[in-house]
Structure 1
Amino acid sequence: MTARDPKAKLIADEMERRGYPVDWLSWGSFTTDVKGRKVMFRGVTSELTTQVAASIAFRKGETNRLLAAAGLSIPEFKTFTATMGEQAMKYAAETIGWPVVVKPDLSPGAGAGVMVNVGEGEFTEAFRVALSMSHRALVQAMVSGQEARFLVIGDKCVSVLRKTIDPVTGKPIDESHEGITSQVHPFYKREAERAVAAFPGLGVAGLDIIAPDFTTKGDYWILEANSTPDIIAHHDAKDGERFDMAGAIADALEKEIR
């Protein structure tokens, strides 16, 4: 049997369960027929998300500006080109203070090129790595607290996973996600929904948010908006609540096609 992209297969299996035919185009792409309309999927991406919305979500600087314009909380940041190394160092040292986060402005995905807890001694290398993957590097203030992935479909936050962060790399340990949807204060869910509403056409999105305590309304920072979020972790959360993301995506598609 040909291997399939696990995210796409979850959705394809759900479409078939509902009686819609599925025709695989490649390991991660398929078409289906919903109420007489041909629909294409690549991974979790379908007509629920427009190309322009996905393109902007791919660009971290544009994403942050869009979120800030909507009145949402983001860490202070600035983007720099390869010729602006001295300015970037000065910004990190004098404006936001050490340590900082350095990441590619155009995200390769899966945290590639992202370096956290960057001090003065590591900054030049972190800046170089980010620029090896993008024409601009984003330098961002470090924020602390719990990190969670909020998954929004349409205009509703449907699932929240708390991430366990590796203390060495500062990056999430994928297999340690915990479903905490019912524990999260409604304030944070509303802010995630407002963030997606700031992206017209972003029908399925994952928001990475940090807050001191998600059970109580308070400060928070949105770190990222992802137009191709991992849905498997929501289906198979190691601990806590699980959520049928493939079913929710199929529901949204059926609602869209009437």
Structure 2
Amino acid sequence: MDTSSLELSTQALIAEALRRGVEVEVLDATDNFVALRRDGRTEYVKQATRTSADTYVSALLMENKAVTKHVLAAAGLRTPGGARYDDEATAAGDFARHAGRRLVVKPNATNFGEGVALLGVDAGEVEYRAAVAAAFALDRTVLVEEFVEGREFRFLVIGGATRAVLHRVPANVTGDGMRDIAALVAEKNRDPKRGEGYRKPLEKIRLGEVETAFLAGQGLTSASVPAVGETVYLRRNSNISTGGDSIDFTDTMPAVYRRLAERATAAAGANICGLDMIIPDATDAREDAAYSILELNFNPALHIHDYPAIGENRRVERYVLDEIGFPERRPTKTH
């Protein structure tokens, strides 16, 4: 079966299904829609993690960030403070309320970091209004939240348990004292792990309008030459979909944060969830350790945990198949 045209997460799911003796039919390759069959049962799966394991309402809940925050707060879990706006004029006119603080402006139902702006304490009203306008261009509801200091981690929770943890680093290059940023990006993009359309473990780094503007904010251009060992970030957001790197933390993440991720997923009634959490100190294993849950994600990518830039393959597709009723078959005993 040729699966090379499918997203990498779907490829991984199919490979594991076939290994378990599950019949696979690709119903729509463009949509990564497959049918899985074994022992008279059929399950339909889209994009590897859109399955019957999650109810329609839990998916809607995870996609609505304002509702997600309400549900998490009711469960006693911490989320960033901020405000919700349902019309652009009100949000744009509220600059004075937020001025002087680091902010995140984002659409209520964003995916892959689209329309998300991170504003520094020195951001002016023009920059703030532009971020609000960009967010409203993608959604009718926009959130303006406080920026929470710390590192961002993705927790993959399947079947009530944390199966993998990943730290995501924004798109970046490291200088060698000779090549400019454009050349360093081109070199990094030659890594066979990088591609486009989620068919490779990592996405290629772009040097588009967003990256150019972020470099300009640091007094840099694509022609700037970083010093030896100097890391230059090209974006604020850490999404793998925008060229970020991934570092596996599954074995080292303290249990307190794993339990928090599981509590949050249970509060949303979700069975397959990608949870994003900010942790100031990931070595702090105390029960009252600081954290903030940014969002819950329906249809989380699997391949980022299977093929991290640094770390081992967690083979998380196994847990999806377990959850939808295609467990590993035990060897038949012979007498």
Give TM-score, length-normalised by structure 1: 0.91
Within the candidate set 98, 102, 106, 2:101 is matched to: 98
Of 63, 71, 80, the residue aligned with 1:75 is 80
Q: Is the 8 A contact 1:73 1:220 kept in 2?
A: yes
Matched with 2:253 is: 184
Superposition pairs for residues 54-73 of structure 1, below 5 Å?
A: 54-73=59-78
**1:14-51 CA distance string (max 9 Å, x none):** 11111111111111001112442210000121111111
| Aligned residues of 2:307 and 2:313 also touching (Cα < 8 A) | yes
Alpha-carbon distance between aligned partners in 2 of 1:56 and 1:223, rounded to the nearest angstrom: 14
Cross-structure match for 1:245: 316
Select the residue among 285, 293, 301 that pairs with 1:230: 301
1:41 alignment counterpart: 45
Task: Pick from 195, 203, 211 the counterpart of residue 264 of structure 2.
Answer: 195
In the alignment, the residues of structure 2 paired with residue 210 and residue 165 of structure 1 have an alpha-carbon distance, to the nearest angstrom, of: 14
The 1:78–1:127 alpha-carbon spacing in structure 2 relative to 1, beyond 3 Å, is same
CA distance in 2, matches of 1:133, 1:86: 15
1:215 pairs with one of 265, 275, 283: 283
Aligned residue in 1 for 2:10: 8
- Name the SS for the 2:106 alignment partner: strand
- Answer yes or no: is the 8 Å Cα contact 1:104–1:136 preserved in 2: yes
Matches within 5 A, 1:23-38: 23-27=25-29, 28-38=32-42
Q: Structure 1 or 2: larger helix share?
A: 1
> Which stretches in structure 2 are left out of the alignment for 5+ residues?
172-232, 328-335
Q: Spell out, residue by residue over 1:206-250, the C-alpha distance to the aligned partner (whole angstroms, 9 max, x if none).
A: 111111121213200111110111110100111123311111211
Q: Name the CA shift for 1:216/1:35 in 2 (closer, same or farther; >3 Å).
A: farther
5+ long unaligned stretches in structure 1 = none
Q: Is the 8 A contact 1:88 1:139 kept in 2?
A: no
User: After the TM superposition, which residues 119-138 of structure 1 pair with which residues of structure 2 at under 5 Å, given as runs?
Assistant: 119-121=123-125, 122-138=127-143
Indicate how the Cα distance of structure 1 residues 213 and 110 shifts in structure 2: closer, same or farther if over 3 A, else same: same
Q: What TM-score do the two structures reach when normalised by structure 2? A: 0.71
Find out whether 1:111 has 2:113 as its counterpart: yes
- Which has the greater radius of gyration? 2
Q: Distance in 2 between matches of 1:255 and 1:72?
A: 33
Q: Cα deviation per residue 1:72-92 (whole Å; 9 max; x = unaligned)?
A: 111102210223135532432
In 2, Cα distance between the equivalents of 1:169 and 1:4?
A: 27
Give, in whole Å, the separation in 2 of the partners of 1:242 and 1:161: 11
Q: Does 2:94 align with 1:88?
A: yes
C-alpha contact (below 8 Å) 1:116/1:169 kept by paired residues? no
Hey, what's the Cα distance between the residues in 2 that align with 1:249 and 1:101? Answer: 32
SS in 2 for 1:73: coil
* DSSP 3-state at the match of 1:181: coil
Structure 1: 4+ residue segments shifted above 3 A: none
Q: CA RMSD in A?
A: 1.8
Matched, 1:17 2:29: no
Distance (whole Å) between structure 1 residues aligned to residue 292 and residue 305 of structure 2: 21
Task: Please tell me whether residue 170 in structure 1 is matched to residue 236 in structure 2.
Answer: yes
Amino acid aligned to 1:78 = A
Cα deviation, residue 196, structure 1: 0.1
In 2, Cα distance between equivalents of 1:6 and 1:242: 13
The question of 1:150 aligning with 2:155 is answered: yes
Comparing 75-84 with 149-158, greater Cα deviation is found at 75-84
